[in-house]
């Protein structure tokens, strides 16, 4: 209602800066406010009259047709205990645990009570990660609500298997459609991506390359090479990252050839020359070359364990190690990842490099780091470990936290561990199956309470 918006805007700005436009008010309000000489009194009189006017009701509507009912949903409701837990989650405002709970339900044949949908939809409106699992568990009632509230329109999304989603869907819907098509019909997915590529905004192009990352193959080389010349730096970086994951690409071989004259071994020393005559900072260019070249290039100078421990001259050693780490992540090279972790266990590249290792090696390496790093350093590392965690890693971290004394950083790590360990760790580990007494430290009680809470979520929906 423009009359009300104009009145509120005048009140917020003050009558010294803006006078009320009586012409925008209903005729009855104009008559009552027009005889006030003072603008402030005029505003107050109009506000009083318009407020009463708004509260007085309206004439009944004619030819009103009832709203259509939602389509039937034959799925049973979640069990009573799970329903009570949902109420606790909504009251406590724990979006990460709520997301996990919805994900569990989405993997079952249950649906959620319709009276909880408005609160869940409002939570998903501000936290997009909740939308996918919520749509799955809300069913036809959720779609009915989404059609009647624009803020919850994500609940009434068209079926993601329809072709219209790619053209008209939201970014989240298009991402899911692309991921599904890349797995089920790769050619159709790539055709859709290349057809719309030039018309997509830069951030969307980068986002779609992130989706392609899980399905990249040798046939994508030409498409990714074209993306290396994109206007947006984020797209170029993503394209370089994906090309680095493909063995034997022209891009990687070209980078190795450009790197070869810049590297020389002299005994236990690696002599590195900074690229000259290149556009931009030579050190930045060196990082790009090392990160993009196949790690097999360095076999000319020795095995990884030997090369990594050589003295570096000509450039900061950290530049070379960081670039090796980037290459190991792109090429998913476990040997190089293990070597780099061993050479600098407390380095900032250690957490992502752990994600390259197999589950068994990852857990063993973390167990080794416990003995090499101070408690404070290891506690910080826990925050940065790539997720999702494997059962082996989760068990190793639960074993570690169970042995720790009270410490501020340990208590912070406990919060992460309680939320991130996979469900397989919750069924047997003592921390997730026992409850501590009140004489235990606050962070210990919080740790076991969260673990037990999560375990019970899975048991109630099993």
In-domain check, residue 348: no
In-domain check, residue 72: no
| Residue-wise pLDDT tens digits, 58-74 | 777 788 888 888 889 99
Residues 268 and 312 in one domain: yes
Residues 129 and 46 in one domain: no
How many Å is the maximal CA-CA distance in the chain? Answer: 98
Residue where a domain terminates, one of 226, 246, 266: 246
pTM for the model: 0.75
Structural domains counted in the chain: 5
Residues 87 and 136 in one domain: yes
**152 vs 104, 120, 173, 256, 429, CA distance in Å?**
22, 10, 14, 51, 40
Q: What is the pLDDT at residue 157?
A: 63
Cis amide prior to 20 (ω within 30 degrees) = no
| Residue-wise pLDDT tens digits, 152-173 | 988 886 555 555 788 877 787 7
How far apart CA 393 and CA 425 sit, in angstroms, is: 10
CA 122 to centroid of chain Cα atoms: 19
In the structure encoding, which two tokens stand for residue 333, read together?
Answer: 């090279």
- 137: domain range? 80-157
In-domain check, residue 440: yes
Residues 226 and 321 in one domain: no
| Residue-wise pLDDT tens digits, 78-128 | 999 999 999 999 988 788 899 999 999 999 999 999 999 999 999 999 888
Neighbours of 224 (CB within 10 A): 22
In-domain check, residue 73: no
In-domain check, residue 39: yes
In-domain check, residue 65: no
Residues 320, 272: contact at Cβ < 8 Å? yes
Mean pLDDT, consecutive 10-residue stretches, the chain (462 aa), reads: 82 86 84 85 88 77 84 93 93 87 93 93 90 90 91 75 71 85 92 93 94 92 94 93 92 94 94 76 90 95 95 94 96 96 93 93 92 92 92 94 90 94 92 82 91 95 90
How far apart CA 19 and CA 2 sit, in angstroms, is: 15
Q: Encode burial over 336-353: b for 16+ CB neighbours within 10 A, e otherwise.
A: bbbbbbbebbebebbbbb
Residues 260 and 295 in one domain: yes
Residues 153 and 224 in one domain: no
Q: What is the pLDDT at residue 54?
A: 76
Residues 454 and 362 in one domain: yes
How far apart CA 433 and CA 448 sit, in angstroms, is: 8
Instruction: For residue 420, give the 3-state DSSP assignment.
Output: helix
In-domain check, residue 87: yes
Q: Which residues pair with 264 in a beta bridge?
A: 271
In the structure encoding, which two tokens stand for residue 13, read together?
Answer: 């700005």
Write 229-236 long-range contacts (CB < 8 A, 24+).
230/202, 230/205, 231/202, 232/202, 232/203, 232/205, 232/206, 234/202, 234/203, 234/206, 235/202, 235/205, 235/206, 235/209
3-state DSSP percent of the chain in helix, strand and coil, to 5: 70, 5, 30
Residues 322 and 285 in one domain: yes
**Phi, psi torsion values for 111, nearest 5 degrees:** -130, 165
Residues 134, 120: contact at Cβ < 8 Å? yes
Residue where a domain terminates, one of 139, 157, 175: 157
Residues 370 and 326 in one domain: no
Q: What's the angle, vertex CA 408, arms to CA 407 and CA 413, rounded to 5? A: 95
| Side-chain-side CA neighbours of residue 428 (13 Å) | 7
Residues 232 and 255 in one domain: no
What is the DSSP-derived secondary structure letter of residue 312? E
In the structure encoding, which two tokens stand for residue 141, read together?
Answer: 């009632």
In-domain check, residue 66: no
CA 160 to centroid of chain Cα atoms: 20
Residues 188 and 98 in one domain: no
């Amino acid at each position: 209602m423009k009359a009300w918006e104009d009145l509120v805007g005048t009140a917020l700005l003050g009558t010294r800066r803006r006078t009320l436009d009586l012409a925008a008010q209903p005729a009855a309000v104009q008559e009552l406010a027009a005889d006030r000489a003072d603008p402030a009194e005029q505003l107050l009189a109009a506000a009083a009259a318009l407020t009463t006017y708004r509260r007085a009701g309206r004439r009944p509507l004619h030819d009103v047709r009832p709203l259509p009912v939602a389509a039937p949903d034959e799925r049973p409701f979640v069990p009573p205990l799970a329903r009570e837990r949902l109420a606790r989650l909504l009251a406590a405002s724990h979006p990460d645990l709520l997301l996990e709970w919805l994900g569990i339900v989405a993997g079952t044949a249950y649906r959620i009570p319709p009276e909880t949908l408005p609160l869940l939809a409002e939570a998903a409106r501000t936290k997009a990660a909740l939308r996918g699992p919520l749509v799955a568990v809300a069913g036809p009632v959720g779609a009915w609500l989404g059609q009647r509230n624009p803020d919850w329109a994500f609940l009434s999304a068209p079926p993601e298997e329809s072709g219209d989603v790619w053209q008209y869907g939201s970014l989240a819907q298009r991402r899911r459609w692309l991921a599904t098509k890349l797995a089920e019909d790769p050619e159709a997915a790539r055709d859709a991506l290349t057809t719309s590529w030039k018309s997509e905004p830069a951030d969307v192009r980068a986002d779609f390359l992130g989706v392609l990352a899980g399905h990249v193959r040798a046939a994508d080389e030409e498409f990714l090479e074209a993306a290396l010349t994109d206007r947006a730096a984020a797209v170029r970086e993503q394209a370089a990252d994906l090309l680095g994951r493909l063995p034997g690409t022209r891009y990687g071989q070209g980078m190795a050839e450009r790197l070869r004259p810049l590297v020389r071994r002299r005994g236990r020393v690696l002599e590195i020359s900074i690229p000259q005559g290149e556009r931009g900072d030579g050190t930045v260019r060196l990082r790009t070359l090392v990160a993009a070249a196949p790690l097999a290039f360095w076999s000319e100078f020795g095995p990884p364990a030997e090369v990594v421990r050589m003295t570096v001259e000509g450039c900061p050693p950290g530049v070379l190690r960081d670039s090796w780490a980037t290459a190991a992540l792109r090429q998913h090279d476990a040997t190089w990842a293990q070597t780099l972790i061993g050479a600098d266990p407390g380095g900032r590249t250690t957490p992502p490099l752990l994600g390259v290792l197999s589950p068994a090696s990852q857990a063993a390496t973390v167990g080794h780091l416990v003995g090499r790093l101070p408690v404070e350093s290891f506690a910080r590392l826990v925050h940065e470990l790539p997720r999702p965690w494997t059962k082996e890693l989760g068990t190793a971290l639960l074993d570690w936290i169970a042995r720790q004394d009270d410490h501020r950083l340990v208590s912070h790590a406990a919060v992460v561990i309680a939320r991130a360990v996979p469900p397989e760790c919750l069924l047997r580990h003592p921390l997730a199956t026992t409850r501590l007494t009140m004489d235990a430290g606050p962070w210990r009680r919080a740790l076991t309470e969260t673990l037990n809470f999560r375990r019970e979520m899975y048991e109630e929906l099993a």
